Amino acid sequence: MNGQSGDGHDTTDGMERWRFQRLPTADGGRLRLGFWPAPSMPRGSVLLLPGRCETLEKYAEQAADWTRRGFATVGLDWRGQGGSSRFLPNAHKGHVSDFDLYLDDLAAALPVLLPAGTPRPAVAFGHSMGGHILLRFLAERPHPFAAAVACAPMLGIRTAPLPEPLARMVAAAMVRRGLGEHYALGQTDWLPADPPFAGNPLTSDPARFLVGHVAYRDDPELALGGVTWGWLDAAFRSMRRLWRDARVASLTLPVLVLSAGGDRIVLSARQQAFATRLPQGRVRVYPGAQHELMMEVDSIRDRVWADIDAFMAETLPAPAEVPAEVPAPTAA
C-alpha cells in the first residue's frame, strides 16, 4: 500500500498505525475515534478534523508529521463517513440533516480524545468541512484549544454553473419536497475504478490524489460517494449561521486560516474575509494551490508546514526537545 508523490515522498505508508475506538452516540449511532502513536515527551496534542468524504486513513502522513513535531495526535471520522455510522441505508450517500449533529458529536468525542492528563496545550486542525465545523465549534461551544488551524475551510461552496443564491434555493426546495435523502444533481455512489488525475480539483500530486481512494479500495466499508440535497441544504444553512454569528468577533484564541489560491471546491476569498473577523486571525494564501493543501506537492506542502510551524512557535511554548515515538494506547 505504498505510494510515491511527485516529489518522491511516501504518501500511503503507515495508514495501519492508527488505533481506533468506537464511541456510541446518544441517538444510537457510533463515532470512530483515532489515536496515532504518541511521542514519548509530547509538547502538546493535536486533534485532526477531516473534510467531507475523508477518513482518518487519509491523514496518516499528516499524523506522522505532527508526531515528528512533538504532538500527540488524535482524530475522528465524522458521522456519515469513514468508519463512523451512516445516516442512510445507502452508505455511499453523504448526508446529514443539520450540521448541529456534527457539533454534538465533536462535543461528545472531546472527553475521550483529549481527556484530563492529555498533553497540553491542545491544538485543533480542521480541513474544508472539518474547518467549518471547527470554526463553528470554537464560536458556539466550550473547548480546550489554545490555537486552531483552519485549512481551506468551507465558508462558501463553488456552485457553478448555478449562482450560489439559486443553488441554495434549489437545495432548500428539494428538502421541502421530501427529496432531502436523494443525491443532489450529478452526485453518485463511490466507484472502485481509479479516478482520473487530469483536471482534478483537489491536488497537483498524483500519488497523494489517490490516498483516499486507496483507503476505500482496501476497505470498501469506508467508501463514500456524493452529497444529498439534505447535506447541501444543511451546509448552506450552517455557513450562513457562522457568517452571522457575532461571537466570532470575540474569539480569543489564535486561528491560522490556510487558503488555496486555486481552490475550485470552496471560495478562498471568503476564507480571507472571514480571517479579518477573528481578533487573533492570521491568513496565508498559496497561489495556484488546489483545495487539499496538505495533500499537495511537496513544494506547496512544505510552505504550508513552514507557516504552521511559525504559527506554533509564535503561539505555543517552545518544546524542550524533539521526542521519540512510543506505541499508541490499546484500542477498545
pLDDT digits (tens, 9 = 90+) for 147-206: 999 999 999 999 989 999 999 999 999 999 999 999 999 999 999 999 999 999 999 999
38, 47 contact by CB (below 8 A): no
- DSSP, collapsed to helix, strand or coil, labels residue 253 as coil
Instruction: Collect contacts of 64-70 with beta carbons under 8 A, ≥24 apart.
Output: 64/14, 64/17, 64/36, 65/305, 66/36, 66/125, 67/36, 67/37, 67/38, 67/39, 67/325, 68/322, 69/43, 69/309, 69/312, 69/319, 70/39, 70/41, 70/42, 70/43, 70/44, 70/319, 70/322, 70/323
Instruction: From residue 139, give the alpha-carbon distance in Å to each of 241, 274, 301.
Output: 11, 13, 28
CA of residue 125 relative to chain centroid, distance: 7
Amino acid in position 153: P
Element holding 103 (H helix, E strand): helix 100-113
Per-residue model confidence (pLDDT) at position 13: 60
**Per-residue model confidence (pLDDT) at position 14:** 81
* 234-238: long-range pairs with CB below 8 Å, 24+: 234/96, 234/97, 234/98, 234/99, 235/99, 235/129, 235/154, 235/157, 236/157, 236/167, 236/168, 236/171, 236/172, 237/98, 237/99, 238/98, 238/99, 238/132, 238/136
137 vs 190, 219, 246, 271, 325, CA distance in Å?
Answer: 29, 30, 14, 17, 30
CA nearest neighbour of 13 among 287, 307, 236, 211: 211
Q: How much of the chain is helix, strand and coil, in % rounded to 5?
A: 35, 20, 45
Nearest to 52 by CA among 256, 304, 265: 265
- pLDDT tens track for 207-246: 999 999 999 999 999 999 999 999 999 999 999 999 999 9
Question: Which domains can be identified in the chain, with CATH numbers?
Answer: 15-315 (3.40.50.1820)
Query: What is the per-residue pLDDT across 45-70, written as a single tens digit (0 to 9) for each?
Result: 999 999 999 999 999 999 999 999 99
Q: Specify burial of residue 199 (Cβ count, 10 A radius: 0-12, 13-18, 19+).
A: exposed
Structure confidence at residue 11 as a pLDDT band (50, 70, 90): low
Q: Are 224 and 189 in contact (CB under 8 A)?
A: no
Amino acid letter, residue 228: T
Collect contacts of 86-89 with beta carbons under 8 A, ≥24 apart: 88/181, 88/228
The whole-number pLDDT of residue 324 equals 43
Question: What DSSP state is assigned to residue 16?
Answer: G
In the chain, the amino acid numbered 271 is Q
The SS3 call for residue 36 is: coil
**Average per-residue pLDDT for the chain:** 93
For residue 320, what are the contacts with CB-CB under 8 A and spacing of at least 6?
41, 43
Residue 116 φ/ψ, nearest 5 degrees: -55, 135
pLDDT at 4: 53
Mean pLDDT of 13-31: 92
pLDDT digits (tens, 9 = 90+) for 91-119: 999 999 999 999 999 999 999 999 999 99
- Confidence (pLDDT) at 331: 41
Neighbour tally for 326: CB within 10 Å: 12
